[in-house]
Structure 1
Amino acid sequence: MRTAAAGTLPPLPLIELAPQAFAAVHALHGAVEQAAAAAGLEPLLLELVRLRCSQLNGCTYCVDLHTSAARKAGESDERLDGLAAWRESGPLFTPREQAALALAEAVTRLPDHAEGARAQRVARAVLSDPEAAFVAWAATVVNAYNRIAVTSKPVPAAGG
């Protein structure tokens, strides 16, 4: 159905139209969170991964959500401001965080095989294999959420 004023299609309410599918994505998120914690990944590192993926995907709703969550978890404004350009931010992010961010970007962008392999090699040099796996899983899940949100076009919460 087209809106009369704009002549464009309204947002597609994926959650309303397929609540079972959204529940499955949400259950996957919970399973990844539990397994990532058991593997030793810090919650704040996962939040940075989710935020960076959301930035790459242009998901305003998720950027707002994960920025707020990172702040509540104690992340500094300086690091949040520098996340979009983390590669150029010098020592602002640890080698472990840089490796996780590079792997998350590779999962999000689905680069050529050489770039993906390089990101995986770097990540596995500073993260255990289970940690690297759950960084990739966290990126995969947030990418699904980003696509749901971008398709559904929710409005970001006021006040961050």
Structure 2
Amino acid sequence: MSNSDSISRVALKKTTPGVSAAMGSLHGAAVSAAQDAKVEPELLELVRIRASQLNGCAFCLDMHTKDARAQGETEQRIYALNAWRETPFFTERERAALVLTEAVTLVHDGQVPDAVYAEAAEVFDEAQVAALIWAATVINAYNRIAIATRMVPGAYQPVSKGN
């Protein structure tokens, strides 16, 4: 069934505002943890985009590619993110964050192998690894919400730099 043929879906914020607010609080706590750990906002956007690519979430891809561009990310890197292993465009830190994001997102494939975790632990301190795991977990939850409720991409506009 294509999106144009789909039935109307529940508006989660309206129907379950308390749960929606709790999800917003979790997102805010994860962003604060990343800021406290000095994880770059630009890196968090790469994490969000990559997880959204893996999950096929058009709404989140629209949102986070716009946010990444607003923070100065290049079109070239955004376009190449789906094939990041094949490019020279990403740093060692970014590559470690991306492989960790993929493992968390595709946890059913290998349950975050020790080698993936060790790679991240080599370039990030413990607080940063924790922040990256939370960032990947939160975007995966948001991907599932957006996909399940058929949130429509296109209208989102970035609010400010550094969120």
> What per-residue deviation string (whole Å, max 9, x for no partner) do you get for residues 47-99 of structure 1?
1101111111111000000000000000000000100011111x200000000
Match for 1:74: what amino acid?
Answer: G
Q: CA deviation at 1:158?
A: 4.6
Matches within 5 A, 1:64-143: 64-89=62-87, 91-110=88-107, 111-113=109-111, 115-143=112-140
Task: Give distance in 1, aligned partners of 2:148 and 2:155.
Answer: 20
CA RMSD of aligned residues (A): 1.8
Q: Give SS of 2:113's match.
A: helix
The answer to whether 1:52 aligns with 2:50 is yes
Task: Give distance in 2, aligned partners of 1:25 and 1:117.
Answer: 29
Q: CA deviation at 1:14?
A: 2.3
Taking structure 2 as the reference length, what is the TM-score of the superposition? Answer: 0.88
Aligned to 1:146: 143
Match for 2:90: what amino acid?
Answer: F
Taking structure 1 as the reference length, what is the TM-score of the superposition? Answer: 0.89
Runs (5+) with no aligned partner, structure 1:
none
Aligned to 1:12: 10
Query: How many residues are treated as equivalent by the alignment?
Result: 153
Structure 1 residue ranges (4+ consecutive) displaced by more than 2 angstroms after TM superposition: 8-16
Equivalent residues of 1:107, 1:116 under 8 A apart: no
Runs (5+) with no aligned partner, structure 2:
158-163
Equivalent residues of 2:62, 2:156 under 8 A apart: no
Q: CA deviation at 1:16?
A: 2.2
Determine which structure has more spread, i.e. the larger CA radius of gyration.
1
Instruction: Work out the percentage of aligned pairs sharing the same amino acid.
Output: 46
Q: CA deviation at 1:159?
A: 8.6
> What per-residue deviation string (whole Å, max 9, x for no partner) do you get for residues 3-37 of structure 1?
xx95x643232222211111111101111111111
Equivalent residues of 2:49, 2:61 under 8 A apart: yes
Task: Give distance in 2, aligned partners of 1:99 and 1:18.
Answer: 36
Match for 1:142: what amino acid?
Answer: I
Match for 1:25: what amino acid?
Answer: M
**Which among 23, 31, 37 is matched to residue 21 of structure 2?**
23
Task: Give distance in 1, aligned partners of 2:116 and 2:136.
Answer: 13
Bigger Cα displacement from structure 2, 115-124 vs 23-32: 115-124
